[in-house]
Amino acid sequence: MLKYYTQMYFDDKQVVSDYEYDMLMRELKKIEAEYPDLIRKDSPTQKVGASIKKGFEKVTHEVPLQSLQDVFSFDEVREFDERMRKLAEENNIKLDYVVETKIDGLSAALEYENGVFVRGATRGDGLVGEDVTENLKTVKSIPKKLKEPINIIVRGEVFIGKEEFEKLNGDRLLDDGEQFANARNAAAGSLRQLDSKITAKRPLDIYIFNVQKSDSINFTTHYESLLYLEKLGFNVNPVKVLCDNIDDAIETIKKIGEDREKLSFGIDGAVVKVNNLELREKAGTTYKVPKWAVAYKYPPERKKTKLKEITCQVGRTGAITPMAILEPVVVAGSKISKTTLHNEDYIKQKDIRVGDTVIIQKAGDVIPEVVGVVKSKRTGEEKIYEMPKVCPVCGAQTIREEGESAWYCNGVECPAKLYRGIIHFASRDAMDITGLGGAIIDELIQRKLINNIADIYKLTFDDIASLKKNGKKFAQNLINSIEESKSRDLYRLVNALGIRHVGVKIAKSLTKTYDTMDKLMNASLESLCMKDEIGRIIAESIYNFFREEQTIDLINRLKEYGVNMEAQKEDNTDDRFYGKTFVLTGSLEKYTREQASQIIEKYGGRTSGTVSKKTSYVLAGESAGSKLTKAQNLGITIISEEQFAEMIK
């Protein structure tokens, strides 16, 4: 299990808390020390860092980026001091320490030539990392040019600050995106993006904490090197305390622990380092860790409090997230009065009830979470929570479909879904309203010029022109595009409505059977289930959608504004592919897949993404894979592009 947790951690995911992971690792080390014959090469204790992610170039570190030896008590810190004092006395070297915060992020090496940033890499396995130069160039606190033209390699920790992380996760919650478990995962995942444009959108920062290599500068102490790094223009770890002895170091660790919530960045410990660089050389290193430093790990702080109420937040796609309203409690220095309960399954698994005494912990020192219930405190008055059957924002029916953990609002006019709804409505495959992009939609909503989708067709020239300086030309173009959208084919409107599970393909299929909006709205559940492309879940989604009062109101308003409600009649009466199902696989030269699909549909056929006994033809291009193999095994007719061209002559 620890091996799985380790791999998840290296993949920038987290399934257990840092503390639970540390305790499991500690237990494994104890077992392996007692029974060394059990140590395997793939044991988590033998790994330094992560494997290289596909898509990145490998970088061999000139100086290894090692991890640190974790300790969990001050007795262990003193044991470390005893070893260092003995070594210092043997070599007649002064022993003092530097205590720094252990920043919760992702380690990286930055390389400069003549003072210019030329390359950056992740730690990887300590010896070989990933070239993330382009991503690191988007981090504003990394100087592209130093104040002196020197050659130097430094090491730092890439992280996301507490406020920035809360905003990032808040935005993801609003957009129904998966929440980052903690700031470390968010920073690591952001830095290891293959597209640097995504990295640039994340609020990454960095603190430098070590000189890895320098050809021109020689230092006597670590503290001296940190001060020099600041002069060069680096963003150096702001918490670096020079301590004369181990007693001072321990007091500093305690003080950092007391003040950790005042820091703008998350930490998961404090690092005690030998200051004298000559003594470090004498101490040496193991394969995994230097012997001249230890990382003291703070235990997670947990508090008990009362869960007063459970409310719900509706995201932009309609996903409903339950939120715990708590009696305020201070955890790790922060007052906590509200936190997410994720979904219905989370509440049931932990048996969380309204009125319970619950245990609160901060995940990764940032996100408050309910980690358990004190069932011995129950009085019998606690209430089992049920997810709302109507949307708390708009009153529409809520639904939870088979295989999904979230409940959704089914209301097409729900204010919480308005922004996303209009984005989709105006998109190319829907009503194709050129110029109605995210920024304009946001401004229209802020100014209350749009309160629901139908209000698009109420917009005036002056409404739009007021959004931009010298916006008359833009306003006229957008008005023209809105007017043109009224005549779009019915399938586009059906797709634009944002019915769950209904995209362009299913919308086209529906409007071939139900060629007016009224026919589709009045279709029975049984008749919807009869269609080949539509299973029971999709049929129920369509059926329930058109029985919502909000949907009926929206369709009526769109009719009033002159939006087309009928499928366009095709001149082509050639239905040579009627009843035939095609599967497209591999790379086509003469057609794009979309073009080939349109041709098949034009002649009455349909396309599918999976090969089955019902498949009529598999159109195979270059590098066709498993679909071709499956078709061959099932004895399905396989055709080339040339044969397809003959079929459509």
Q: pLDDT band at residue 368, thresholds of 50, 70 and 90?
A: confident
Q: Is 82 exposed, middle or buried (0-12, 13-18, 19+ CB in 10 A)?
A: exposed
d(CA 497, CA 146): 54
Better pLDDT: 255 or 601: 255
Are 401 and 538 within 8 A, CB to CB?
no
Of the chain, the percentage scoring pLDDT greater than 90 comes to: 59
Confidence (pLDDT) at 14? 46
Cα-trace Rg, the chain: 31
**Out of 126-135, 183-192, 423-432, which region has the weakest mean confidence (pLDDT)?**
183-192
Q: pLDDT band at residue 10, thresholds of 50, 70 and 90?
A: very low
Domains in the chain: boundaries: 1-47, 60-296, 300-425, 490-560, 581-647
The residue with tokens 């077992």 is 31
Q: pLDDT band at residue 7, thresholds of 50, 70 and 90?
A: very low
Confidence (pLDDT) at 202? 93
Q: Which two tokens stand for residue 137?
A: 């160039």
Mean pLDDT of 253-267: 89
Confidence (pLDDT) at 41? 59
Tell the CATH superfamily of the 1-47 domain. Answer: Helix hairpin bin (1.10.287.610)
Are 369 and 361 within 8 A, CB to CB?
yes
| Listed residue (479, 485, 430) closest to 459, CA to CA | 479
Confidence (pLDDT) at 420? 87
Mean pLDDT of 154-171: 90
d(CA 491, CA 517): 9
β-strand partners of 101? 270
Residue count of the chain, please give it.
649
Buried b (16+ CB within 10 A) or exposed e, 46-78: ebbbbebbeebeebebeebbbebbbbbeeeebe
Residue 102 annotated as catalytic: yes
Q: Is 36 exposed, middle or buried (0-12, 13-18, 19+ CB in 10 A)?
A: exposed
pLDDT of 5 higher than 50: no
d(CA 417, CA 536): 25
Which of the listed CATH numbers 3.60.70.12, 3.40.50.10190, 1.10.443.10, 3.40.50.1000 matches domain 581-647?
A: 3.40.50.10190
- The listed range with the strongest mean pLDDT (130-144, 187-201, 413-427, 583-597) is 130-144
Class of domain 300-425: mainly beta
Of the chain, the percentage scoring pLDDT greater than 70 comes to: 89
Are 266 and 166 within 8 A, CB to CB?
no
Confidence (pLDDT) at 444? 93
pLDDT of 96 higher than 50: yes
Q: Under DSSP, is residue 238 helix (H, G, I), strand (E, B) or coil? A: coil
- pLDDT tens digits for 266-325? 888 999 999 999 999 999 998 889 999 999 998 777 889 999 999 998 887 788 999 999
Are 248 and 98 within 8 A, CB to CB?
no
d(CA 494, CA 507): 6
Name every residue whose Cβ is closer than 8 Å to that of residue 61 and which is 6 or more positions away in sequence.
109, 121, 124, 126, 127, 128, 129, 212
pLDDT of 50 higher than 60: no
Confidence (pLDDT) at 491? 94
β-strand partners of 638? 618
Class of domain 490-560: mainly alpha
Q: pLDDT band at residue 605, thresholds of 50, 70 and 90?
A: confident
Q: Under DSSP, is residue 324 helix (H, G, I), strand (E, B) or coil? A: strand
Q: Which two tokens stand for residue 429?
A: 């495959």
| Listed residue (453, 333, 312) closest to 390, CA to CA | 312
Q: pLDDT band at residue 629, thresholds of 50, 70 and 90?
A: confident
The residue with tokens 């009503």 is 431
* Residue 157 backbone dihedrals phi, psi, to 5 degrees: -120, 120
Question: What's the chain's average pLDDT?
Answer: 88
d(CA 234, CA 337): 38
CATH number for region 60-296: 3.30.470.30
d(CA 584, CA 179): 36
| Listed residue (469, 489, 464, 492) closest to 479, CA to CA | 464
| Listed residue (237, 216, 282) closest to 98, CA to CA | 237
Confidence (pLDDT) at 2? 44
User: How is 496-552 classified by DSSP, letter by letter?
Assistant: HTT-TT--HHHHHHHHHHS-BHHHHHT--HHHHHTSTT--HHHHHHHHHHTTSHHHH
Better pLDDT: 573 or 59: 59
Are 423 and 397 within 8 A, CB to CB?
no
Name every residue whose Cβ is closer than 8 Å to that of residue 264 and which is 6 or more positions away in sequence.
161, 162, 163
Better pLDDT: 605 or 71: 71
Confidence (pLDDT) at 33? 65
Q: pLDDT band at residue 468, thresholds of 50, 70 and 90?
A: confident
β-strand partners of 482? none
- pLDDT tens digits for 214-249? 988 889 999 999 999 999 999 999 999 999 999 999
- pLDDT tens digits for 471-516? 889 999 999 999 999 999 999 999 999 998 898 889 988 998 999 9
CA distances from 23 to 17, 72, 300, 458 (A): 10, 10, 12, 62
pLDDT of 18 higher than 70: no
Three-state SS sequence of 371-395: EEECHHHCCCCCEECCCCCECCCCC
What type of residue is 521?
Answer: M
Catalytic residue of the set 30, 47, 102, 512: 102
**Out of 59-68, 284-293, 364-373, which region has the weakest mean confidence (pLDDT)?**
364-373
Beta strands in 215-373 (DSSP E): 240-243, 267-274, 293-296, 302-314, 319-331, 334-340, 353-354, 357-363, 367-373
User: How is 103-152 classified by DSSP, letter by letter?
Assistant: ESSEEEEEEEETTEEEEEEE-TTSSEEEB-HHHHTT-TTS-SB-SS---E
Confidence (pLDDT) at 9? 42
CA distances from 478 to 95, 337, 425, 433, 464 (A): 72, 45, 15, 8, 8
pLDDT of 6 higher than 60: no
What type of residue is 455?
Answer: D
Confidence (pLDDT) at 21? 57
